[in-house]
Amino acid sequence: MNNFRGGHRKKAYFEGWYLKHQKDNISIAFIPAFHVNEKGERTASVQVVTAEGTYCFSFEEKEFYASKKQFYVKINNNVFSEGGISVNLKNENVTITGILYYSPFTELLSDIMGPFRFLPFMQCRHGVLSMLHSIDGRLTINGREYDFSNGTGYVEKDSGSSFPLFYTWAQCVGWTGKRDCSMMASAAHIPFGCFTFTGCICAILYQGREYRLATYMGARIMKNTHNILIIKQGKYKLEIYKAKEEAKENGKRAGEKEDKLLLYAPQKGSMHRKIEENIACTVRCRFTVSGKPIFDFTDHRASFEYVGQQDGY
């Protein structure tokens, strides 16, 4: 999944990478992408997600290059790779510059898609390039400098023709204050020939051990709403509660503002679909094995997306 696979695509295709960076209360994500619409028109883009807002930069195909052997993407003067990123983005609203350096990626033991990665007709394939790695360097946005020295990063990837019709996605890293934990979980609508179903994938790194929950391993989605995702697989149970729902369960008010940010997502290769994301919100995660807690934490810097059937307009 690390290498670029879209060079030969003629119609309705996208390939994009999600690079999240966090340090203390700062969270910034970059989404470089390549897309081919139904007419065969090929373009590229870079989206930037911050707590203050999102910014989208469009580029011609000739400004895009990606390696077929490793994770290395260059769009105009912007580079995204396993070694780090170098960005120089500017439009009438924002100027974003800087260099960040990464430590070696922490990869999963195997592809998160499991046997589904071999199916040729999958609408969207998901990959995790790095569950966690350290960051050094600085970014400047409209003159304000953000120091990411000793920060933490996460990188994932999607490719296919379209994002799922509806899905939930949650991601958090470093909640112990150390670089020994990371979690991503997703539940999504999956077309499968003449049928459809809602499948799930989840990867957890915690204190040197990897846990995995997935439909192909027998996982079941117990609950999936705009604020709750509960997955059970044998002796494993993962519960994710977004801030408002957690406050409701405890009979308290959440006491925080919902900072949903507008992003563009692929629909038949074109980046015209609009979705909302929380790049840094309060989420409680509880993971148990045979009823015994492995962890139970509240992260104020978690990322969360919920796109219902009526959403993704």
pLDDT value, residue 244: 64
Burial of 291 (0-12, 13-18, 19+ CB in 10 A): exposed
Mean pLDDT of 171-188: 93
Does position 258 have pLDDT exceeding 70, yes or no? no
pLDDT value, residue 195: 81
The amino acid sitting at 277 is E
What is this structure's pTM?
0.91
Does position 287 have pLDDT exceeding 80, yes or no? yes
Does position 63 have pLDDT exceeding 60, yes or no? yes
Confidence band (pLDDT; 50, 70, 90) for 2?
low
Confidence band (pLDDT; 50, 70, 90) for 250?
very low
3-class SS shares of the chain: helix, strand, coil, % to 5: 5, 60, 35
Query: What's the full length of the chain, in residues?
Result: 313
Confidence band (pLDDT; 50, 70, 90) for 122?
confident
Nearest 5°: CA angle at 17, between 190 and 60?
A: 110
Confidence band (pLDDT; 50, 70, 90) for 217?
very high
The amino acid sitting at 49 is V
pLDDT value, residue 256: 39
**C-alpha span between 253 and 286 (Å, rounded):** 20
Confidence band (pLDDT; 50, 70, 90) for 105?
very high
Burial of 311 (0-12, 13-18, 19+ CB in 10 A): middle
Does position 251 have pLDDT exceeding 50, yes or no? no
Does position 202 have pLDDT exceeding 60, yes or no? yes
Which residues fall within 8 angstroms of residue 125, CB to CB, at 6 or more apart?
1, 113, 116, 117, 158, 159, 160
**What would you report as the CA-atom Rg of the chain, rounded to the nearest whole angstrom?**
19
Mean pLDDT of 123-130: 93
Most confident of 38-42, 175-179, 209-213: 209-213
| Torsion sign over Cα 295, 284, 130, 15 | positive
**C-alpha span between 75 and 177 (Å, rounded):** 34
**C-alpha span between 240 and 125 (Å, rounded):** 23
pLDDT value, residue 6: 63
pLDDT value, residue 259: 61
Top pLDDT among 51 and 20 is at: 20
Does position 286 have pLDDT exceeding 70, yes or no? yes
Contact at 8 Å (CB) between 229 and 306? no
Query: Which of the 8 DSSP states describes residue 63?
Result: G
Average pLDDT over the chain reads 89
Burial of 235-263, coded b for 16+ CB within 10 Å and e otherwise, reads ebbbbbbbbbbbbeeeeeebeeeeeebeb
pLDDT value, residue 231: 98
**C-alpha span between 203 and 222 (Å, rounded):** 17
Which residues lie across from 158 on neighbouring strands?
Answer: 16, 126
Query: What's the pLDDT tens digit per position in 70-98?
Result: 999 999 999 999 999 999 999 998 999 99
